């Protein structure tokens, strides 16, 4: 069982670590282990709880970028009606870039879902991968291409700056997050920097790209919350989801301002230090 206190703590951690490039899956494995809580991926109730918090986070992503998604959806419909993307239709182009970026992680996730699930129980491995996530962030910063932020419309700038090949590359990078310890937002932001996006645009594309993936993953398992698997956990799931939603909202708003002038470097250092400290702590306990 999960206590209400544990639900609030894990909900906040999920809400913060999903948009931050520090791996929400990694923290959901390591933190309970470090605190001595019997919350593992082999615990069906804990998995059901995490699904609820992921769904709440996805709702926040959708809410914050609702106006963008309406424009993107209309652009997609126009492209279908016109049998192509009209020159200058940035919304339609961005819609297809997001589809291209979503496909790789979706296909790889479906193909490797069961083999990858075995990794969720190994906190030592997750701590090592968290350190590798930090190395990835620092490496992407060192290799990033210079970019210009010379257009007021964020979506138009994104659609102009990113190529179809680049969107596919970011989608492949996103697939790294299927391994617990690698961050979805960290991988996609790193991929965006390597494709020449600014930190601000890389973060924005990452957040847009995360919405359909998180929604799809949560919706696949959300029915379990209302079946026998949700027995005795629905109240905790609701409280955890609310905590995750509040934390995610504040985190996304902070990061959209942070990446106007700042870099991934602090998060890379955090992941390396947190992973190393976790390894030592796990060895002691």
Which pLDDT tens digit goes with each residue over 145-184? 665 555 556 778 888 889 999 999 999 888 888 888 999 9
Does the reported pTM lie above 0.85?
A: yes
Contacts of 238 (CB under 8 A, 6+ apart): 52
The yes-or-no verdict on residue 11 having pLDDT over 80 is yes
Q: 3-7, 194-198, 212-216: which has the highest mean pLDDT?
A: 3-7
pLDDT, residue 271, reads 97
For residue 8, give Cα distances in angstroms to 11, 24, 81, 169, 271. 5, 15, 46, 36, 23
Q: 217-221, 226-230, 233-237, 267-271: which has the highest mean pLDDT?
A: 267-271
For residue 140, give Cα distances in angstroms to 123, 173, 193. 25, 12, 7
Contact 116, 181 (CB under 8 A): no
The yes-or-no verdict on residue 2 having pLDDT over 90 is no
How many residues in the chain?
285
The domains of the chain are located at: 4-284
Q: Higher pLDDT residue, 169 or 215?
A: 169
């Amino acid at each position: 069982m999960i206590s209400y206190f544990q639900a609030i703590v894990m909900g906040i951690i999920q809400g913060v670590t999903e948009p931050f490039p520090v791996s929400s899956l990694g923290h959901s494995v390591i933190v309970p282990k470090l605190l001595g809580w019997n919350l593992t991926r082999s615990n069906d109730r804990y998995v059901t709880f995490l699904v609820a918090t992921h769904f709440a986070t996805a709702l926040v992503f959708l809410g914050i970028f609702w106006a963008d998604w309406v424009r993107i959806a209309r652009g997609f419909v126009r492209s279908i009606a016109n049998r192509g993307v009209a020159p200058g239709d940035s919304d339609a182009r961005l819609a297809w870039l997001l589809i291209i970026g979503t496909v790789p992680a979706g296909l790889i996730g479906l193909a490797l879902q069961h083999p990858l699930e075995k990794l969720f129980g190994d906190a030592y491995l997750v701590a090592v991968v968290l350190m590798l996530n930090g190395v990835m962030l620092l490496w992407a910063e060192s290799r990033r291409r210079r970019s210009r932020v010379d257009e007021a419309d964020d979506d138009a700038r994104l659609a102009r700056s990113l190529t179809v090949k680049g969107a596919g590359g970011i989608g492949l990078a996103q697939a790294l997050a299927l391994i617990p310890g690698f961050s979805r937002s960290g991988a996609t932001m790193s991929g965006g920097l390597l494709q020449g996006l600014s930190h601000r645009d890389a973060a924005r594309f990452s957040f847009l790209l995360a919405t359909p993936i998180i929604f799809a993953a949560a919706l696949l398992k959300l029915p379990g919350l209302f079946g026998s698997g949700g027995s005795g956990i629905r109240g905790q799931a609701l409280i955890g989801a609310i905590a995750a939603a509040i934390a995610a909202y504040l985190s996304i708003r902070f990061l959209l301002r942070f990446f106007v002038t700042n870099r991934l470097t602090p998060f890379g250092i955090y992941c390396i230090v947190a992973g190393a400290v976790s390894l030592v702590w796990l060895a002691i306990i």
